[in-house]
Structures are given as structure tokens and as C-alpha cells.
Amino acid sequence: MAPLLRWYAFPRLARVPAHQYQDMVLEARDATLLDYGTMRAKKVPEVTIVQTLKGTWRPRGGSRGPPAGRPVVVWDGLSYVQGPDGTMASKVPERYIFDAHSQDPVHATGEMVDGDPVRREGIEFKRPFLTGKRDYEYFDAQTRTTSPIHYRGTRTFRGLTVYRFEQTVPWTKVRMPKTMPVRGITPQTVARTGTTRWYSTVRRFWVEPVTGAPVYGEELHREELRGGTLLGGRAKVTAFAGHVKMREDYITHTVALVKHNRTLVLAVTSYAPRGTLVLGVLLLALSLWLEARARRPRGPAPARPGEPAPVSS
């Protein structure tokens, strides 16, 4: 039972649910945001980023889909950035298709970022169950590229032992979002002005290793517009710059959820296998003791009435 629970039941029971909805709110206090009316950067008290993930359809197997029978989960994601007055600064949708147990990307029709087809390599959003103390390949949706996210040590966070991971994305030219904050302006019209968008970030995650779920995350995020006639002769202007952190109420909710799921995963990977192993050893010891007791030599049987007592030589 012990090896069956660990290596047979665990991969089949520990899976990301196919249909679920979750959201996360992050904030950047005292951030810099571009005013598209004047095309000048200004300080704002707060920028809010709302990230949602919704389990949707399952892609079918075939030449353009995952192997039939493979446990596949599809998440439709949306990253929505708004300024302090509630106006939209950017909006980028994603469709992320991955293996429900290992979290490895699964390539199928519909995989995209902001409507553009992509072929992800590496993980995104969640690490695998039983995360190791090592580097992982991580997909960056802004640059559409994959690079290592490095293990930076172990610490305690809100009563949980977590692994800290960090990834640095250097300044990279990226695409304009297809949904712009000003009506009438499109990526095509911006491209005709010669202005380009550049992006850099340092992202950090605190990951609970049993579930592979991040319990906290932050980014040192920067975006710039460079060159072209749109900037009025300036070389560059900051589109967004800020230290993005998870909001406190979402940290509390996430930690409580991860603690619950951690117990469920440990029940299959540790508690039940170890319990059955100890029980098996105890039963084996008991059976050997009973067998030895049954084979133990007994003394001579008492004489029956009317029969001579046995006499030894």
C-alpha cells in the first residue's frame, strides 16, 4: 500500500481542478504612470493590478491537441491594470494549457497571449507539486520568452516553510497591448509613429513546496515608450514603474487555502504511505512472533489414568 499510494495514487489524485475560478489583487503604491492625454509620466498614489484565472474548456486530442486521456487543464487569464481613478491602463488576456499534475505546458490550439498564438516552454503561475530546491524554466507573458527563475533560499512565511524564487527580465522590446487605454489609438497607429514599447522586471515568488503554490509575490516592474514622433522629440517616457505587491487580504486568503491543500497532498505523499508502512512492519512482527510461538517446543503431555508414566532413558 505504501508504494501504491505514493507512486500510483498521488499522480492521479493530486491535480489542479479543471473548473475553478480565482482572482488576485496586487498594488503598486507611489507608482509612476503615463498620462496618455499629455503623454507625460506622473506620480500616482496607487496602481491596481487584478489578475483572474478561470478554468474553461478541455482541448481534444489529435494532431493539434494534447494526447487523448492526458489530464489537461485550461486557464483563461486576464491581467487588468487600472489607475487610482479606476480608468484602465492596460488589459492583456491569456490562455494557458497545462498538465493538471506536473504543470508542464501542453501545446494545443488556442494557446495564446493577448490574442497572439504562443508555444510556452516552462511553467507559469504555479510550480509543480513537491517543488524542489532548484531553478525552473519560467515563461514571461510580456516578452513571450522563457528563462530560468532561480531558487534563492528557504524561509518561513506566515507559519509556512516556503522557497523563494527570483527572475530578472532585462530591458526587452515588447508588443503594444491590443487594447489601448485611449479610444482610437491602436498598436498599428502607434507603430506608424515609430514609437516602441520596452519592458523590464524583477519578479519574486514565495512558494509552498508541497503544493507548488505561490503564497506571496512581488515585482519591480518598469515599462517605457521609446523614440518616434508620439513622444514629441523625447527619447523615452515611463509608461509604468512601481513595486507591485499582493494585497494583504489576498495574502491571508491564499495562505489559508494553501495550508488546507498542503494537508491533503501530505496525506497522500507522506501520512498515509508512512502509516501503512508502519502498520505493515507491525503486522509482520506480530505474524513472526505468533509463528515463533506456535513452533516453540512443548513439555511432555501428562499421563492418562490407567497408563504407565513415560520413562526416559
Tell me the per-residue pLDDT of 86-130, one tens digit each, with 9 for 90 and over: 889 889 999 999 999 999 999 988 899 999 999 999 999 889 999
Q: pLDDT tens across 217-230, in order? A: 999 999 999 998 98
**Edge to edge, what strands does the sheet with 160-174 contain?**
116-117, 112-113, 88-99, 72-82, 40-55, 21-35, 236-246, 213-226, 196-208, 160-174, 145-157, 136-140
Query: Terminus-to-terminus CA distance in the chain, angstroms?
Result: 55
Output the pLDDT for position 62: 44
For 278-285, what is the mean pLDDT? Answer: 93
Are the C-beta atoms of residues 228 and 282 closer than 8 Å to each other?
A: no
Report the pLDDT averaged over residues 204-211: 96
Mean pLDDT across the stretch 299-308?
63
Sketch the domain layout of the chain as residue ranges.
Answer: 14-266
Burial class of residue 5 (count of CB atoms within 10 Å of its CB; 0-12, 13-18, 19+): buried
Q: What mean pLDDT do residues 139-166 have?
A: 96
Residues 215 and 206: their CA atoms lie apart, in Å, by 6
pLDDT digits (tens, 9 = 90+) for 160-196: 999 999 999 999 999 999 988 888 788 898 889 999 9
pLDDT at 71 over 90: no
183 vs 185: CA distance, rounded Å: 6
Closest CA to 104 of 65, 136, 135: 136
The continuous run of DSSP H or E covering 251 comes out as helix 248-266
- Give the model's confidence band at 63: pLDDT under 50 very low, under 70 low, under 90 confident, else very high: very low
- What is the pLDDT averaged over residues 187-208? 94
pLDDT > 70: percent of the chain:
91
